[in-house]
Amino acid sequence: MYLSLQKRSRLWMKISEACVLGFAMLLVMGHLASAMDVTVLSKMNALNGTNVRLSCTFNSCYKIENSKFSMNWTYKECHNCTNVTFLQYKHKWIYPKDHQFEGRVNFTGNLNKNDVSVTIKNIQIDDSGLFTCEVKNPPDRQQGRGVIDFNVITEVPPERDSTIAVIIGASVGGFLAVLILILVVVKCVRRRKKQELISDEQKIEEEGKMDGEGGTEEGTKCQ
């Protein structure tokens, strides 16, 4: 009676485990089937005056057909600001005009590799804001989008400098510490050997040697 109860509860455990697992798999599969994942860096820092590649790639269940595929690269200065489209794909690449990025935009992706990255030349302070990469690839029903929180800086942040300094300092310090340790160990071993030798010899000789070297203190320290 006791055994069968245990068996039954084990069976129930297994069934419920399988249910949970199955449910999780369903969720994952549903997610894969429905979502068109767009991958961007959610946060980017760029140095004033540099050329910056805004990377954007996507997954789609369907191969790209140039006649159906479409995408927009847009920019807005703040969450509540107006959107500016600075690169668009609709049958072909379109570079809209009359905006702050005019003449600085280059497509640097590869449509065959689901890569719609763009490069902006000569980044300016007021290019800070939100860049959005939006992709439609029918018959994929879902539209994918990725948003980059883009921040332009005028100098290399001091944090990085100090981390490098800390790394260099730590390595040099660590190296020195190891070196000193090795020296101390070698010295101690030598002294111990010497003392063993000395203890085998006569006391008069020992005194003479130690005085001559002046290392009586260290000799006792290392024992």
Ligand X SMILES: *[C@@H]1O[C@H](CO)[C@@H](O)[C@H](O)[C@H]1NC(C)=O
> Which residues of this chain interact with ligand X, rule CB under 6 A?
48-49, 70-72, 80, 85, 125, 134-136, 143, 154
137 touches 36 (CB < 8 A): yes
Compute φ and ψ for 83, nearest 5 degrees. Answer: -80, 140
Smallest gap from residue 55 Cβ to ligand X (A): 18
Residue whose C-beta lies closest to ligand X: 49
Residue 12 Cβ vs ligand X, minimum distance, rounded to whole Å: 49
* Residue with Cβ nearer ligand X (89 or 191): 89
Q: Which is nearer to ligand X, 48 or 216 (CB)?
A: 48
Q: Whose CA is closest to 52, among 65, 41, 63? A: 41
Q: How far is CA 111 from the centre of its chain?
A: 26
Work out the angle at residue 54's Cα, subtended by the Cα atoms of residues 51 and 60, and round it to the nearest 5 degrees: 155
C-beta closer to ligand X: residue 55 or 71: 71
Opening angle at CA 112, ends 107 and 117, nearest 5: 30
- The structure tokens listed for 95 are 């570079």
Closest approach of Cβ 126 to ligand X, in Å?
10
Q: How far is the CB of 84 from ligand X (least distance, A)?
A: 10
Q: Measured from the CB atom, is 130 or 222 closer to ligand X?
A: 130
CA gap 56, 40 in Å, rounded: 5
Minimal distance in Å, beta carbon 51 to ligand X? 11
Give the single-character DSSP code of 205: H
When the beta carbons of 105 and 191 are compared against ligand X, the nearer one is 105
